[in-house]
């Protein structure tokens, strides 16, 4: 019985060390920045990029405007893009695939590694964190 407890403890310790050393895969990149556009003015932009393995599963775009009218204007663009847009107060939420993001914003993340995506976002002025 004592040996069983000893081996079980060693296995648990090995699993914990493996998770600590390798990490949990950092399956999400969060990028934020304040930006300005001619039509909408200054707004907060937040990108959340989720991964399944090395492949992007979803990109969530959150834009927080100073004016609710601007958020309504963005919401009206839903019919043009075909991407579902949700609005709450001054914020607009869009969830899309990597291909839809490429069509809307011109960045092709689908062919890039996670490190390349992080570097591109930093080059574009985003503050980037991983979860």
For residue range 9-42, list pLDDT tens digits in order. 556 555 655 554 455 555 899 999 998 888 888 8
For residue range 54-96, list pLDDT tens digits in order. 888 889 999 999 888 888 877 776 556 667 788 888 899 988 8
8 domain-assigned = no
Residues in the chain: 131
7 domain-assigned = no
Range of the domain at 110: 26-130
Q: Residue 61 sits in a domain of what CATH number? A: 3.30.1830.10
49 domain-assigned = yes
85 domain-assigned = yes
5 domain-assigned = no
18 domain-assigned = no
Q: Quote the CA–CA distance of 30 and 40 in Å, as a whole number.
A: 23
Q: How far is CA 104 from CA 51, 75, 79, in A?
A: 20, 14, 13
3 domain-assigned = no
How many domains is the chain built from? 1
């Amino acid at each position: 019985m004592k040996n069983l407890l000893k081996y079980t403890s060693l296995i648990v310790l090995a699993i914990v060390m493996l998770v600590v050393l390798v990490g949990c895969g950092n399956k999400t990149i969060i990028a934020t920045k304040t930006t300005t556009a001619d039509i909408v003015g200054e707004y907060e932009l937040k990108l959340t990029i989720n991964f399944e393995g090395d492949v992007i599963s979803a990109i969530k775009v959150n834009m927080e405007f100073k004016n609710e009218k601007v958020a309504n204007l963005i919401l009206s663009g839903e019919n043009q893009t075909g991407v579902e847009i949700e609005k709450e107060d001054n914020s607009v939420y869009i969830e899309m695939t990597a291909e839809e993001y490429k069509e809307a914003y011109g960045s092709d993340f689908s062919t890039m590694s996670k490190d390349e995506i992080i570097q591109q976002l930093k080059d574009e002025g985003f503050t980037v964190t991983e979860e």
